[in-house]
Amino acid sequence: MTTKSVQQILPPPAAHMVGDGFRVHNFFPSGYNMGNKRMSPFFMLDYNSKVEFPPTDTPRGVGVHPHRGFETVTIAYHGKVAHHDSAGNSGIISEGDVQWMTAASGVLHKEYHEKEFAKKGGMFQMVQLWVNLPAKYKMSPPKYQEISNSKMGKYLLPNDGGYVEVIAGELKGIKGAASTFTPLEMYNARLKKGAKLTVNFPANYNTGFVVIEGKVKVNSSQEADVDHFILFKNDGEEITIEPLEDAIILLLSGEPIDEPVASYGPFVMNTQEELVQAVNDFNRGKFGVLED
């Protein structure tokens, strides 16, 4: 088994606000000019590093907005988010939970800090990923997967070294809860200092990790601090991770989608014509109705 070597360890790009409730570092596609295919099938990574929000009676968040052509995956580490979409789905993403929304042919969506969390204020930390869809699935019906922490398969490290939540894919025989349109792996590794985790991904899979908590050593050589992104080369299969202190790492790896990408705001399609169609459909009310 050959080692999948580190290409770069990237510090968090300057933060910006999405709405008034999410202070995010966009690692890709714009943060480090990776383009929209370097981490395919993952199209976008917005990382809301830890931030303390003061109490408020008016929940902060993002108002009604459309999506088409991809999936949004929201992972909660601190705080709670309430969400609604025009397909009739709603719920609360609590700490440790994941919301996997397939926008596909189109939905309207809004997400806010959950009411009671907003009233009390507190620590907030989230990840939102956009996962691209192949052309043949872009206009499929929207769907929604509510993945509570209790539904996730968990791989236990030996000697009480921590555990890995398998959100999607499969790790050492433990299967993830999410169904996906293309092969991809998504895990939360919650590791104790002194443990060691070895993972294997195909050489051609695009692979990257976010260090959510702590500090880690990768492949026995390079160290990555909290809030950093580790981008791997497409040159091998095996990666070893050693937490230098208790750590949480979000692992992402997936088979690239080898198709043209045309994107505009909340639409990720294959051609400019499809983008024009998406804008026209949105303006004509074809994405349904959702009150702000």
Determine what percent of the chain is predicted with pLDDT higher than 70: 100
Tens of pLDDT, residue by residue over 137-158, are: 999 999 999 999 999 999 999 9
Contact of 230 with 6, CB cutoff 8 Å? yes
CATH code at 6-254? 2.60.120.10
Q: What are phi and psi of 172, to 5 degrees?
A: 50, 45
Residue 289's pLDDT band (boundaries 50, 70, 90)? confident
Element (H, E) at 119: helix 115-120
Residue 161's pLDDT band (boundaries 50, 70, 90)? very high
Q: How far apart are CA 264 and CA 268, in angstroms?
A: 7
Q: What is the pLDDT of residue 33?
A: 85
Q: What is the pLDDT of residue 38?
A: 97
> Is pLDDT above 80 for 68?
yes
The residue among 209, 201, 196 whose CA lies nearest residue 234 is: 201
pTM for this entry: 0.97
The residue among 81, 126, 132, 63 whose CA lies nearest residue 103 is: 132
CB atoms inside a 10 Å sphere around CB 144 = 18
Q: How far apart are CA 43 and CA 124, in angstroms?
A: 23
> Is pLDDT above 80 for 292?
no
Q: What is the pLDDT of residue 1?
A: 86
The residue among 127, 124, 126 whose CA lies nearest residue 53 is: 124
Residue 89's pLDDT band (boundaries 50, 70, 90)? confident
CB atoms inside a 10 Å sphere around CB 193 = 14
> Is pLDDT above 90 for 174?
yes
Residue 236's pLDDT band (boundaries 50, 70, 90)? very high
Q: What are phi and psi of 55, to 5 degrees?
A: -60, 150
Segment 181-209 mean pLDDT: 98
More confident residue, 150 or 35: 150
The residue among 207, 197, 195 whose CA lies nearest residue 236 is: 207
DSSP state of 148: -
The residue among 35, 92, 99, 26 whose CA lies nearest residue 67 is: 99
Q: What is the pLDDT of residue 164?
A: 98
Residue 181's pLDDT band (boundaries 50, 70, 90)? very high
